[in-house]
Amino acid sequence: MKKHNFYAGPSILPQEAIDATIEALKDFSGTGLSLASVSHRSKEFDAVINEAIALFKELLNIPQGYSVLFMGGGASTQFALVPFNLMKKRAVYVNTGTWSAKALKEAKLFGDVVEIKNPDFFSLPKGIEVHKDTDYVHITTNNTIYGTEYHEDMDFGVPLVADMSSDIFSRPIDISKYAIIYGGAQKNLAPAGLTFVIVKDEVLGQVDHKIPTMLDYRTFVTKNSMFNTPPVIPIFTALQTLKWIKTNGGVAAMYKLNTEKANLLYAEIDRNPLFKGTVAKEDRSLMNICFVMEEQYKDLEADFLAFATAQQMVGIKGHRSVGGFRASTYNALSKESVEALIATMQEFEKKNS
């Protein structure tokens, strides 16, 4: 039976990207060498990284004056790089969950941080006002653990920085609203080990302090992400994923399908008497759909998880900090998989009604 992969990350990738990577690991671009052992300075890999950057810019309609960087260290390293490169005095951090809290913690090492948050993480702060002398505002657009997401690009009148680890390429973005967008690639783009950064060139080099070479975005801008050895295999897979997105209609088509998938699953959660959603409806994520058993059915949680696992549903257990269930519906997850999860929920309902 087909397995339905709802893992939050590392997570499902297009089969075409996986297959192309497997072949390249055997023989990369007709070189007779494995992708795992080819020089990153070779003309064959140079073509890969250049095409990946070009497709990144094309699919997201990135305007002139922005650079696309491929780095290591995960989004967690970016939590420190952002303030190191941008903060002069103070920044505003919108704390909407675990990952934004970690970013905020790192930023406090570099200057004053104003924290904005709701009493809990099951809804998003609204009506945020920012003082004009703020160096930048930092947001996490999608929250994998709690299942909230900002669905529109915001404008605070100061540079905006966004962690888009888990919703990049899932919806159209107005890149011009952002100074920096960054994220780990292990959700919608590539295997773990690759970090992407989209940076507005003019915001760099404005701080007074010195920045170590490997922590300075300008190092990667001037060297086309090739100052040191980049994560070769994940970049190759990212290129295959970007090709797949383009072939399947681009970001607009991804957004249409993601909306359809999410609407189907949220409708079942709202209808099914055994389950309930955990997030304010206007803030529900399209990427990470979180739900729990209704209070009177709490004792069935382990039973449902076992039943769903037997039906080939993989990775639907909620994060350990919140419990319940989480279905991650990234770009490569088919509508068929969502329909299979819904059928599983309905069958479990029949067994326990």
Active site (catalytic) residues: 99, 163, 187
Token pair in block for residue 55:
């497709």
User: How far apart (Å, rounded) are the C-alpha atoms in residues 302 and 332?
Assistant: 28
Neighbours of 328 (CB within 10 A): 23
Amino acid at position 39, single letter: S
Q: CA gyration radius for the chain?
A: 21
Q: Distance (Å, rounded) from C-alpha 258 to C-alpha 180?
A: 24
Residue linked to tokens 């095409």: 51
At residue 196, φ and ψ (nearest 5 deg) are -105, 150
Say whether 325 sits in a helix, a strand or coil.
Answer: strand
Q: Give CA–CA dist 347/353, Å, rounded.
A: 10
| Residues 287/142, Cβ–Cβ less than 8 Å | yes
Residue 95 tokens, joined: 């704390």
Q: What distance in Å separates the CA atoms of residue 193 and residue 112, rounded to the nearest whole number?
A: 31
CA–CA gap between residue 278 and residue 232 (Å, rounded): 39
Q: Say which residue the tokens 């970090």 belong to.
A: 195
SS3 4: strand
